[in-house]
Amino acid sequence: MIRPSKEGQIVKFHTALTDENPNQLYVVMEVKENTERPRVNIMPLNTGLTSPPINTVGLNEVEVVEVSTIDLIGSKVTINKSDFSQVEGRVKSVAAEKVLLDLIKGEKGVETNVDLTVVDKEGKEHSGTLFIGKP
């Protein structure tokens, strides 16, 4: 079990309660380790709510999980390239089928550690990391 250690990690409860969905994913909003009772603030993903609630739970109650990237194939996305430019295109391939997703909030959006290859409008391939936001 990998304990969350920073904002942006994707977690789930390692032992869900009987009335909870054991596959529900959450994004870590804040980690409070330097307290008597280490806690983490988490927000549920894919709820359909405009403003999902942020819950505070014990740090040992959740674990970092791998997220499937296969569903991205064929999607129109923006990537950050190694030369710091951005390209929009359709995902041709993913470097790994599952990743321990890290989300890093930047000035114009959220940067990730998801390595992709996309094809732009002209048919040219580009590699980089998934970017969520406005290019």
Domain housing 83: 69-133
- Shared domain check, 77 and 56: no
pLDDT attached to residue 134? 54
Q: What is the CATH number of the domain that holds 110?
A: 2.30.30
- Shared domain check, 50 and 78: no
Q: Along the 135 residues of the chain, how does pLDDT read in single tens digits?
A: 899 999 889 999 988 778 888 889 999 999 998 888 999 999 988 777 778 889 999 999 999 999 899 989 999 999 999 999 999 999 999 999 999 988 888 888 889 999 999 999 999 999 999 998 754
pTM of the model: 0.76
- Shared domain check, 43 and 57: yes
pLDDT attached to residue 94? 96
pLDDT attached to residue 64? 95
> How many angstroms separate the CA atoms of 100 and 98, rounded?
7
- Shared domain check, 60 and 27: yes
